[in-house]
Amino acid sequence: MEANLFTSMLFATVVAGTPLVIVALGLLVSEKSGVLNLGAEGMMAMGAVAAFAVTHETGSPWLGVLAGMGAGMVMAFLFGILVLSLMANQVASGLALSIFGVGLSAFVGKPFESVALAAVPPIRLPFLADIPVIGPALYNQQALVYFSWALMWAVVWFLYRSRAGLVLRAVGEAPGSAHSIGYPVIRIRYLATLFGGAMAGIGGAFLSVFYTPLWVEGMVAGRGWIALALVVFATWRPLRVIVGAYLFGGVMIAQLFVQGSGMEIDMPSQVLSSLPYWATIVVLVIISRNAATIRLNAPVSLGQPYRADT
């Protein structure tokens, strides 16, 4: 395989994997606090449309990213009201958030369906980008790609090295005990949920402002759900999230691989497009096959409502 081809594939894999990295890390933090938010798809869709609209109106992709983040947080806050304050079922509420977010994004995004944004130029990191083969693929990327790497280390540090992260994990493992020694369980869960929403919004923004850059109804195309599956696949560990996300990124650009390989395969494009979804299923099966793996790694209170009866 030519070096050039390898470089462009690596580049495309990282780009395709980046929104998954960002969204899945956000979901991971909220799940570590015990909140299962199945609304990722809706939060991403709202983030994508808000970011696109603001970028289109102001011309600034960074204001767009902020707007995407804000939209994701508003959605997460709605979810928080339902499941944290009103103690509604987390599975049903997450579904509601997804249905609502996808619908609302289609509605508010209608006027933007036929417009395109100027492509945002990548940021070239000096010296690193000069490394042969991998340099141009990894270090001549969009700023949000670098952000996703920083985010991973930040999440690792936060969860396993900081006091606040310890408290957050305690809330996810044993909310009753955390409450009894004086930690505000609900407030911590709100913050973790909002963080998940913010990251889902940024992930959506990456799709509509940097990746395509277009707004099309349904453009999130299941990435929110794939990110949820990734967290399970990673057994709630941040480093594995990034590995999984790039594996999926690779699967998502399978089309490029097939074309690049020079093979003459007569395969309908739909088969290649369906690969990420098959991959998600396969990955879930592999990781869930051993029930103990999930039981040992999932936050104990994941999905359970909590109410301090005092």
Partner 1 sequence: MLLKLEARPEPSQLMAYLSPLLAVALTLIGGLLVFSALGTDPLEGFKVFFLNPVKDTYGVSELLLKATPLMLCAVGLAVGFRANVWNIGAEGQYVMGAVAASGMALYFIDSESAMLLPAMVLAGAVGGALWAAIPALLRTRFNANEILTSLMLVYIAQLAVSWLAHGPWKDPDGFNFPQSKMFADSALLPMLIEGTRLNFAFVIALGLLAAGYVFMQRSFLGFQMRVAGQADAAARYAGFSATRTIWIGMLAGGATAGIAGMAEVSGPMGQLTEHVSNNYGFAAIIVAFIGRLNPVGIFFGSLLMALLYLGGEQAQQYLNLPSSISKVFQGMLLFFLLGADVFIHYRLRLKGGK
Positions in the binding site for partner 1 (CB under 8 A): 38, 42, 78, 81-82, 86-89, 91-93, 95-97, 99-104, 106-107, 110, 217, 221-222, 225-226, 228-229, 232, 268, 270-271, 273-274, 277-278, 280-281, 284-285, 288-289, 291, 294, 307, 309
Q: Considering all CA atoms of the chain, what is the largest pairwise distance in Å, rounded to the nearest integer? A: 69
The residue among 180 and 274 lying less far from partner 1, judged by its C-beta, is 274
Taking the complex as a whole, how short is the minimal distance between the CB of residue 189 and partner 1, in angstroms?
16
Of residues 288 and 297, the one with the C-beta less far from partner 1: 288
Closest CA to 28 of 148, 186, 176: 148
Helices 90-109, 40-58: crossing angle, 10 deg rounding: 30
Nearer to partner 1, 47 or 136 (CB): 47
Q: How many residues does the chain have?
A: 310
Cβ proximity to partner 1, 131 vs 282, nearer residue:
282
CB of 105 to partner 1, least distance (A): 9
The closest alpha carbon to 279, from 248, 255, 253, 238, belongs to: 248
Cβ contact 37:79 at 8 Å:
yes
Nearer to partner 1, 49 or 256 (CB): 49
Would you say 165 or 305 has its CB closer to partner 1?
305
User: Least distance to partner 1 from the beta carbon of 122, Å?
Assistant: 29
Q: How far is the CB of 216 from partner 1 (least distance, A)?
A: 13
Q: How many CB atoms lie within 10 A of CB 305?
A: 16
**Helical ranges in 33-162 per DSSP H:** 40-58, 61-80, 90-109, 134-138, 143-161
Tell the smallest beta-carbon distance from residue 115 to partner 1 (Å): 15
Residue closer to partner 1, measured from CB, 239 or 271: 271
Rg (CA), the chain: 20
Q: How far is the CB of 202 from partner 1 (least distance, A)?
A: 22
Residue 165 beta carbon to partner 1: minimum distance, rounded to whole angstroms = 26
Query: CA 134: distance to chain centroid?
Result: 24
Half-sphere exposure of 148 (CA within 13 A, CB side): 29
What secondary structure letter does DSSP report for 209? I
Burial class (CB in 10 A: 0-12, 13-18, 19+), 266: exposed
Copy the structure tokens of residue 260: 């690049």
**Per-state percent for the chain, helix, strand, coil, to nearest 5:** 75, 0, 25
Residue 89 or 304 having the CB closest to partner 1: 89
Residue 71 corresponds to which amino acid?
Answer: A
| Closest CB 134 distance from partner 1, rounded Å | 31
